[in-house]
Structure 1
Amino acid sequence: MIRLQALTSVALGAASAIALSSAPAAAQTTAGANDSAYATFTPSDTPNSDGIDYSIWDEAMSNLVISMGPSLRETAGRPVPGLGTRRQYGHISRYRLEGSRIMFSFLDSDVISSFTEYRQDLENTASIIDIQALNRNEQLAYWINLHNVAMIEQIANNWPVRQPRDIEINGVPLDEARFITVEGIALSPRDIRERIVFANWRDPRVIYGFWRGEIGGPSIQREAFNADNVSRLLDRGARDFVNSLRGTQKSGDTLQVSELFEEAAPFFFSDFESDLRAHLSRFANADTAALLSGTTQIDASVKEYDIADLAGGVREPTYSNVTSADGTSQSFRIPQSMQRLLQQREQKFQRIIREGRTGTVTFSNITLPGDPEDNEVE
């Protein structure tokens, strides 16, 4: 699968120009797919030393993903409609300056079809090596990458679309559709998350590896997951999400959190409020810690289903020329709403620099209570 290495020059050009206590919830079941079938994906107690190379996907992500930077915990105001129209193109979400974006609007048919080929390559990998016998970090990287490749593939196939959850495959919602096949077993994105990873990894950090295609979910990373970086990337995703408006907010005496935490509660937060507070505290910065200490109850009500792309899931009829910092005109145009979003992003980055908010510290190789001694998330 080579075509992913030849991402469109338009996409690459755009990237460079942007310097401006309950039991687990039962998933949907269908004929031939039951709980016993997923038991085959239980990690082996005697892992081998095999590994998988994701260099192609790593290159693709570095060219297709745009980071919006860390949250400033400020709502982005509603943008002004374009000149001569009342219609609002592009993103209007109050969270539009958080998380990361995929440049779906720049993808041509060859790149889009290469996503399908790469997803199939990952599926076929399970016919070549024993996925369950890999060490746990290798397995976790495989399942996260397969899930995210499949999500990007289907959203790209259906773009333009405002909300990924509106996508259906043969009449079944994208998250529930079993279009992924590993070892002869049909899987949906939700199956991978809940029946395989959530069921076999006790560390709630895994929540942040899975990209849902929505602004309101965890960010997609600009590099592929692998056995060596999985812990670092999950920590990064956790800090980004926990300390963002789309992850945690305060309303009076109530800590409002993403509804994704409630979705994952049967697996990681059996005593929801107590367990979740302990988890959030682990990644909270000073501002988020103040929210935790200043509230006494939790409400999982924060959500944003809009697509995590640059164009807002629509084709805008009005365009602007992109210019570099020195005023030199570039060889392509972008929608006006996208130009506005990127300008807001640049203004945000300049503010971060002025206020000295840059810099992160990453801890790895930490043993978690209750985890196996070897081959767990590091």
Structure 2
Amino acid sequence: MSFRPLIRPALLATALVIAAPALAETGAADAQLATFTPSQSPNNDKIDYSIWDEAMKNIVISMGPSLREGAGRPDPSFGTRRQYGHVSRYRLEGTRVMFSFLDADVIASFTEYRKDLENTANIVDIQSLSRNEQLAYWINLHNVAMVEQIANAWPIRQPREIKVDGVPLDEARFITVEGVSLSPRDIREKIVYRHWKDPAVMYGFWRGEIGGPSLQREAFNADNVARLLTRSAADFVNSLRGTQEQSGTLQVSEFYREAAPFFFPNFEADVRAHLARYADETTSALLAKTSGVDPVINEHDIADIEGGVREPTYQNITSNGQAISFRIPQSVTALLRERETKFQEIIRQGRTGTVTFSNIALPGDTGEAAEVE
């Protein structure tokens, strides 16, 4: 698969329509990072991310909302005892990136686009943008950089195994903005978490792992940042990878422990209040019947479609009974069939939500499969 090369983001003037979150205390920031403190006098400039938006719609697949049912272990690939593809009980939650289908030109375009976003800060004063515009910039830059580095390293089972110049990916300072070298973690914690008080910002950052918040199928911008963060928060909080019960104790993702110094100083009370903000009926009942908060849930496997390993066996795709010149690994076929079965169960339960159409045609299927978000 492919999509047209990414190009430089254009700067546009526009009116702001979303209220910005309040400024957090910056504390004792070091001199370099202090330069990213948001201005008290924002302007009306805006950055256009339409090219990244197009890319996300082409390479990101939604697995739909959680049914709070852990997926069983899949059968081995046909003709071999080796287990290919995802085995995680969370594999039917969140979103997946189609890294195995990207060619060298597309992967190179991610690096070009990341550098273009970095250079945007030399053209426009990022700190003087509206706070929603700044937030969208930092989230997009972080996620572009993560997609770029994981695409370069693929196939790999877990993003935490990736090193950039010998440094673990999350700590590697390969991003440069206004002459300051930044790591993905720096962007999250030393810029966004430091200057935005609402913990909802956590859910914008994609970590490349099944156990983390989803990579959205559209780019963030000043107009949609609040909506996308709310969507991502609700998806995560109301999933097994966000909240579970174990022997009467509320288990939550380890990401809440990581964010605790910024958003959850009184950990149990603050986390529970935060979860209640996004909890659906099932999760609200879970909060009511549990005590404590234990941040132990994790899944470090890559959030891709193939499980981080190239499978040597493939299955031909058919459409309307005709074979087409495209093959996918058997494990991917199996995962997509599990996904379709899950969507049919969502429909059977009469659950409502946003219904779109997937661009994935499964072997033997005709037409487009419904995607429920």
TM-score bucket (shorter structure): 0.7 to 0.9
Aligned to 1:187: 182
Letter in 1 for 2:352: T
Local SS of the residue matching 1:333: strand
Aligned to 2:214: 219
Distance 1:231 1:164 in 2: 27
Written as runs of structure 1 = structure 2, the 5 A alignment for 1:123-272 is 123-272=118-267
Aligned to 2:16: none
Matching residue within 262, 276, 285 for 1:281: 276
Aligned to 2:310: 315
Written as runs of structure 1 = structure 2, the 5 A alignment for 1:75-90 is 75-90=70-85
Residues 1:351 and 2:353 aligned together = no
The superposition leaves residues 92-144 of structure 1 with CA deviations (integer Å, 9 ceiling, x where unpaired) of 00000000011000000000000000000000000000000000000000000
Cα shift at 1:329: 2.7
Residues 1:332 and 2:326 aligned together = yes
Cα shift at 1:77: 0.1
Distance 2:153 2:200 in 1: 30
Cα shift at 1:24: 10
Letter in 1 for 2:5: R
More strand by share: 2
- Identical-residue share of aligned pairs (%): 72
Distance 1:247 1:205 in 2: 14
CA contact 2:90–2:211 (8 Å) conserved in 1 = yes
Local SS of the residue matching 2:295: strand
Letter in 2 for 1:136: R
Cα shift at 1:86: 1.6
Letter in 1 for 2:139: I
Written as runs of structure 1 = structure 2, the 5 A alignment for 1:32-181 is 35-181=30-176
CA contact 2:26–2:195 (8 Å) conserved in 1 = no
Distance 2:204 2:318 in 1: 34
The ranges of structure 1 where at least 4 consecutive aligned residues each deviate by more than 3 angstroms after the TM superposition are 23-26
Distance 2:164 2:338 in 1: 35
CA contact 1:24–1:266 (8 Å) conserved in 2 = no
Letter in 2 for 1:107: L
CA contact 2:71–2:90 (8 Å) conserved in 1 = yes
Distance 1:84 1:219 in 2: 33
Distance 2:209 2:329 in 1: 20
Structure 2 length-normalised TM: 0.87
Letter in 2 for 1:4: L
Larger relative contact order (CA 8 Å, sep ≥ 6) = 1
Distance 1:83 1:180 in 2: 43
Cα shift at 1:25: 12
Distance 2:238 2:262 in 1: 22
Q: What RMSD in Å do the two structures reach over aligned CA positions?
A: 1.7
CA contact 1:71–1:244 (8 Å) conserved in 2 = yes
Structure 1 length-normalised TM: 0.86
Local SS of the residue matching 2:316: strand
The superposition leaves residues 62-101 of structure 1 with CA deviations (integer Å, 9 ceiling, x where unpaired) of 1110000000000100001122322100000000000001
Q: Where do 5+ consecutive residues of structure 2 fail to align?
A: 8-24, 355-373
Local SS of the residue matching 2:173: coil
